[in-house]
Structure 1
Amino acid sequence: MTDDSTAAGPTARTHPPKTAIVTGASTGIGEATARELSRRGWIVYAVARRADRLEDLSKETGAIAVPCDITSEADVSTLRDRVLHEQGTIDALLNISGGARGADWVANAKDADWDWMYQVNVLGTMRMTRAFVPALRENGEGTVLNLTSIAAQRGYEGGGGYNAAKFAEHGFTEALRLEEAEHNVRVVEIAPGLVHTPEFSLMRMGGDVEAAQKVYAGVERPLTSEDVAEVCAFAVDLPHHVNLDLVTVKPVAQAAPHKVLRKQ
C-alpha cells in the first residue's frame, strides 16, 4: 500500500510553507532557483533589478517580485523591512546574484570591470546576508546559500577579476559558517562549473555574441540553469541538521576547470 503523501515527492508539504529570498532571479540560475523552490511549495521572494522580468516570473510561478539592487544599502534595507513585515521571518536566503565582466589578463585589467564584480559578487552578497542574519538566527533553523563558482577554487588566464571576486566570496562564506554555527544558521556554498545560461558569457564578453558562443562550442552537455537550481533547492530543502558545506557541480565534460572536452 502506497502512502500518497510521500509518493508525491518534493512538491508535497504537510507543514506551513517555508519562505526564501532568491537574488538574481530575473535570469539564469537565480530565475531557475526561484521557479524550483516555488514548485516545491516555498514562498519565494524573487529579487533582481529588472522589474519587468520579475513580473513575468511572478505571473508564471506565484513568486513575489521585488525589484532591488543588492549593491544599494537603501534597496536592501527596504527589501528586509518589507519581507519581515509580511512574513515575520525567513527560512532561507539564497545569494545567487553575481557575474563576470571581461576576460582580460591582469596586466590589462580594467578598474571598472573589477569594481563591478566585487560590488555584485562580494559586497552585494555581504549586504544581503548582513540584513537578514538576525532574522535567520531568530528563526532557529535558518539557511544562507551562496552561489560561488569553480573560479573560487582555481585561478585561470583571463579570470583574474572573477577569480578575485569569487575567492573572496568563498572566504566570506567559510567565515560566516564558523560565526553562525552557534546560532544554528546553516551555511551552504554551491560552486558550479560550466553552465550554459542566456547571459553570463554574453555579459562577460561585452555583448559579443560570437565570443560568448565559443565558451560552449563543442561541449555536448554543459550544465543548465535548471541543473544548478535543482542542487540549490535540494540543499535548502534537506532536514536542517544536514549541511552541504560545499558542493562543486560540473558537467561530466569538464573534468577540471582547465580541461573541457569539446567535440569537433
Structure 2
Amino acid sequence: MNKVVKGAVTAATATGIALCSPTNYVIAQAPTQTILPVSAGLEKVSGAKVELLSNPILRSNQKAEESVTAFAVQDLAQQKIEALAENRSERVKEEKIQEEKLRKKRLQEKKKRQEAKRRREIKACCGVSAGMEDCRILERIVEAEAGGENFTGKVLVANVVLNRVKNKEFPSTIRGVVFAHRGSRYQFSPISDGRYYTVKVSKHTKRAVRAALNGKNPSKGALYFMERASASRSNVSWFDRALTRLFRYGCHEFFK
C-alpha cells in the first residue's frame, strides 16, 4: 500500500520501505540500504515496484529553469530580430544614398545634353555659342538696360550683345562682352553702377532674349546703343563723332 508523507513517497513492500527524500534520492531500507537516483515514473527497489511522486521543490526549480531558458531563448531571438532589422535599415539607407547619387548624376547628364542641344540651336539660329548661364547673363543685362522698353526694344539690345560676340574686335562670349572693361570702367553702365546685380528679370524680357537667340535680329548689325537723354556729354560726343548712327528705337539710338 502506498502512502504520501510530506512530499515523499512511502512504498510498502514485502521486503521493506522505500522513501523519496527531498534531495531527489530514494533511500531503500530493509533488507539492504541503498541510495538510488529517482527518475520520473516507476522504479524497482528490492524487486518491488515503487511509485515515485515528483518532489515539489524540484518541480519548482525545474519550472524556474525552464522559465529562465525560455526568457534566454526569447531574448536571443529578439536580439537576432533587432540585428536583422538594423542591418536591413542600413541597407535601405545605403540604397537610398546610392539612388540619390544616381538621380543627381542622371540629372546632371540630362542638363548637359540640354545645354549642348541649346548651344547647337542658338549657334544655328544666331551664330553664337551660348549655354544656360550665357542666357541668364544676357537676360540680366537686357533687363538692366532696357527693362522699360517694349519687346522689339529689348530684342534690339540683346542683339547688340550678340553682334559683338560675332565681331572679332570684341570678346567671343556673351559673358566676355557683358563684363568687358578698361580698368574700372565697364562697357555697360549697369555693371558699373550695380543695377545688373539687383534687377528682377521679367518674363517679357526672357521672351525677348529667347527671340534674339532664336535668330530674330532687326538690329542692322548695330554694335552700340545710347540713351542720349541720360548719357554724358563726352559719351554723346564720342558716339556722334566716332560711330555711324543707324536708327533710333524707343529711348535708344543704335550705332556701328
Q: Smaller-chain TM-score range?
A: under 0.3
Instruction: Give the TM-score normalised by the residue count of structure 1.
Output: 0.20
- The structure whose Rg is larger is 2
Q: Which has the higher contact order (CA 8 A, sep 6+)?
A: 1
The structure with the largest helix share of the pair is: 2
Instruction: Give the TM-score normalised by the residue count of structure 2.
Output: 0.21
